[in-house]
Chains A and B, each alone.
Chain A
Amino acid sequence: MNKLLVSDIIDLSTGTYLLKCLNNKLKITTNGDITIYIINELINNLDILVNDNSNITVFMINKNNPNNIDININEGNNTKIDFNYTFINHKDNTCVINNNIKGNNNNSNINIRNISNIGLSKIINNVYIDKLTKNNIALEDLKGINNGGLVHIEPNIICLSNEVEANHLTTIGGLDKDSLNYLMSKGINKDNAKELLLKGFIYSNMDEYIKSVEVI
C-alpha cells in the first residue's frame, strides 16, 4: 500500500494507494491496474481520467459529513472502473457524478451508498455515452437510506450510442422492517439491530481493507 499526501494533481500507475488530500480539489490520472482508497477526506472536486487499457477500483468513504462534491470520471478505451462511494450526511449535501464514456470497450460500475441522518442528500449520477462508441457497459447502483434525513437520487443515463449495455438500480427507503425483526428475533434490541443493519449498508460496497480501518 502506497500512502500518498497529494496536493491537487497526481499521476498513478499500477499499484494500491491510500490518498490523503491537502486541498479540496483532486485530479487523478491513471495508467495500469490501480486501487485507490480515499477515507474521510473533504473534497469538493474529484476528477479521474482513466487512460486506455487501465483497470481502476476506487473506494471512497466519508462518514463525517462530506463536502458537496462534483466527481468527473472520463474513460478512454478498453478500461474498467469500479467507483464505490459511501457517505453519511448530517446536513444538506449534494453529490454529482458525471461518468463520461468517450471511447470503446469500457466497463464502468458506479456504486453509491448514502445514509442521510439530517438534511436533504442529493445524488445525481449522469452517465454520458458518446455517439459512435461501441461495446461499452455502464451500471449505476445508487442506494440511500432515510435515517432521519432525506435522500433524493437522480439516476441519468444519456446514451447516444446504439451499441451499449446500460443499467441502473436505485433504491431509497428506511431500514427493512423484516430484517430488523429477524435480528430482534435473535435477542438483539432495536437500537443494536439498527446499528448492525446501517453498518452492513455502509460497507456493502467497500472492501476488507476499508472495513478493517474503519472498525479500528
Chain B
Amino acid sequence: MLKLQDFSLSVKDKILFNNLNLTINDGEIHVLMGQNGVGKSSIAKAIMGDNNYQVQGHIYYNDEDITNLSIYERSQKGIYLLNQSPMQIEGVTNAEMLRVAVASRSNIPINIFKFNQELENICASLELDKSFIHRDINVGCSGGERKKIELLHMWMLKPSLIILDEIDSGLDVDAIKIVSKSLKKYYELYKPSIIIITHSSSLLNTFDNYYVHVLNNQKIIKSGDKTLAEDILNKGFKELTDTFVIRKRNENE
C-alpha cells in the first residue's frame, strides 16, 4: 500500500503540491490526470525518490516511511517508474544491467541459461527482437522500442508498485496494443498497485476498474471512478478547473 500523507512537493522553490493526501491499496489502479505542467510527472519522480524534488510530509509504502530512502532502496522495496522518455545508457547492455539488478534482489545465484531464456520469452511476448537483450540500454531505439524495453525490465524485476508516466505518448496503435496487453497480463499475474499518468484513453481501456484523481492548483480537486476519466476525455479539464476556481473564490469571500 502506498500512502502520501500531508505530502507537499516543491522544486527549486516552486511549490507543486501542498498537503496532498492519497492512499493506494494493494492491487488498486489510480489514474492521475491534469493539465500540462500541473506536476503529475513530478509526483511520479518524487515517489521514486528523485532528489531534485523537495518533499515535506510523508510517503509510506507497506506501512514503512520511505520519505528519506534513496531511489535504490525504494526500487528494492518494489517501486518501479516507467518513464515517458527513458534514459539511454551507452556501453551498458540490458542483460548486464538486469543481471546486476536481479542479483541484488536475491541471494540465490542467477542461472544464466534460465535468465536468458526468460528474457527471450518476454521479448517474444513484447514483439521485441531478442537482439535488444544484448544491446546498450535504449541506445538507438525508437520511442516504442524504449517503452517495450522498460517493460522488459519491469517483467524481470517484478515490482509491486508500478508508476506509468505517460507511457502511451508517442506510441503507434500497434505498439499501444502490445504495451497494454503486457501490462494487463502482468496485472492479472502479480496484482501490483499501479499509478497511471495519461492524457488519453488508450491505456485506460486496458483496465476494467480504476480510481481517477484530477490535479490542479497544488491539490487533488476531484476524485472519482472511471466515469470521471471518461468525462474529462470528452469535455476537457476546463469545466472542472473553472468550478474549482469559483468554489475557492467563494470560500475566500
Contacts and interface: CB of A to CB of B under 8 A. Distances in A.
Contact of B90 (A181, A185, A188, A200): A200
B157 A187 contact: yes
Interface stretch (B12-20, B100-108, B216-224, B240-248): B100-108
Contact of B81 (A179, A183, A185, A201): A185
Interface stretch (A99-107, A123-131, A158-166, A190-198): A190-198
Contacts of B101: 186-188
B87 A196 contact: no
A188 B92 contact: no
Interface string B98-130: 101100110000000000000000000000000
Interface stretch (B68-76, B174-182, B204-212): B68-76
Interface residues of B, number: 26
Contacts of A192: 100, 104
A186 B97 CA distance: 8
Contacts of A182: 86-87, 89
Contacts of A49: none
B21 to A, nearest CB: 25
B76 A200 contact: no
Number of chain A interface residues as a range: 20 to 34
B87 A178 contact: yes
A202 B80 CA distance: 29
A188 B72 contact: yes
Main secondary structure of the interface of A (DSSP, over half): helix
A33 to B, nearest CB: 26
Contacts of B37: none
A185 B48 CA distance: 7
A83 interface: no
A184 B91 contact: no
Contacts of B104: 187-189, 192
B153 interface: yes
B90 A204 contact: yes
B91 A185 contact: no
Interface string A118-151: 0000000000000000000000000000000000
A176 B228 CA distance: 41
A88 B86 CA distance: 30
Given A179-B87, A188-B100, A196-B97, 6 more contacts: A179-B89, A182-B86, A182-B87, A192-B100, A200-B90, A203-B91
